[in-house]
Structure 1
Amino acid sequence: MLNAIDAIRIFSGDFQETKTFFVEAVGFEIGFEDEGVCVFDLAGTKLILEEVDLSEPEAAGMVGRFTGVSFATDDIKSTYKELSAKGVHFEGKPETEEWGGAMAHFKDPAGNVFTLVQYPPQN
């Protein structure tokens, strides 16, 4: 029986730059690192950064795409301001969605797109 999502893998052709981005700009801590792989432990889920060789056609298609990965925050406006000040590139300011929450998309140095999300208050 499946219990939970354990890990999400993302890929980069410039491993060091992308790793530095997640540590210095986003504030993630490294749980494990080896040659070409870095694991960030995030409250029950791992984000695994893997280096790929962009000269290989199969690998090139794995980098610089919408990931579908969302990071939750309780205060999207302040998180957006803090991450923007650290050099995180957002595609736009946080926007309130018709379902009551707010979202903003950002890219890592490899061009992978992530979502910052604030869920509406529970009644």
Structure 2
Amino acid sequence: MTQTTRLLSDSPAFSGFSVDDLDAARTFYEEVLGLRTSAEPAMGGIMHLHLGGDRDVLVYAKGDGHAPATYTVLNFPVADVDAAVAELAGRGVQFLHYDEPPTDETGVMRAGGPLIAWFADPAGNVFSVIEQS
């Protein structure tokens, strides 16, 4: 293994994605999803989503230049997808429905593999709850 590879493998890498309205995103993440966030005041327009363990995801404001990702940017493993969908729907989350892979009336994909349901944040970025035992 070269020194360059080791340099990156030892790096505390993190992922990130953009939103068009940081305040609306923060409200959704905190009040609807129940996530912890923190602002990055010195950098303006940046916040961190604090997830399980020491994992953070960087969320940054891109305003008019924002385009939602065309893929799932964040997956939340849960023990029971149906229970998670019911609870989140009760908080106002609207689940996405697809023909391929097919989702049922609640938005859960049951056509093989782990059960999964997708939803979007206010900026249109796609998240999922995915069943993991």
TM-score of the two chains, using structure 2 as the length reference: 0.74
2:59: which partner in 1?
49
Q: Distance in 1 between matches of 2:12 and 2:110?
A: 27
Q: 1:102 to 1:72 in 2, by over 3 A?
A: same
Q: Distance in 2 between matches of 1:107 and 1:5?
A: 27
Give the structure with higher Rg (CA): 2
Structure 1 residue 102 and structure 2 residue 115: aligned?
yes
Q: Distance in 2 between matches of 1:5 and 1:91?
A: 32
Contact 1:66 1:113 in 2 (8 A): yes
Q: CA deviation at 1:33?
A: 3.6
Gaps of 5+ in 1: none
Q: Which amino acid aligns with 1:53?
A: G
Q: 1:113 to 1:89 in 2, by over 3 A?
A: same
1:81: which partner in 2?
86
- Number of aligned pairs? 114
Q: Distance in 1 between matches of 2:31 and 2:89?
A: 12
**Taking every aligned residue pair, what percent have the same amino acid on both sides?**
22
Task: Encode CA deviations 1:63-90: one digit per residue, 9 max, x unaligned.
Answer: 3532342110011111111111111121
1:111: which partner in 2?
124
Gaps of 5+ in 2: 1-5, 98-106
TM-score of the two chains, using structure 1 as the length reference: 0.79
Structure 1 residue 27 and structure 2 residue 40: aligned?
no
Q: CA deviation at 1:10?
A: 1.6
Q: Distance in 2 between matches of 1:89 and 1:7?
A: 27
Q: CA RMSD in A?
A: 2.1
